[in-house]
Amino acid sequence: MPWKGAELAAILGIENVNSFRVQLSQWSHQGYINKIGPALYGPMSTST
């Protein structure tokens, strides 16, 4: 299920949403999470 950065920030209680969005972008570039579309993130798919 894709999540918007602002939704994740609200769920996690993060007040500085802009900084969190930057962190999400960095994590997606590092391969920790998957950027599905503009401002949409999801877990990396697992292959077995």
String of DSSP letters for the chain: --EEHHHHHHHHT-S-HHHHHHHHHHHHHHTSEEEEETTEEEEPPP--
Please give the model's pTM, rounded to 2 decimal places.
0.80
pLDDT given for residue 47 in this prediction = 67
Give the tens place of pLDDT for each residue, 7-48: 999 999 999 999 999 999 999 999 999 999 998 999 887 765
> What residue segments make up the domains of the chain, in order of their start?
3-43
Six-digit token pair at 22? Answer: 């930057």
pLDDT given for residue 39 in this prediction = 87
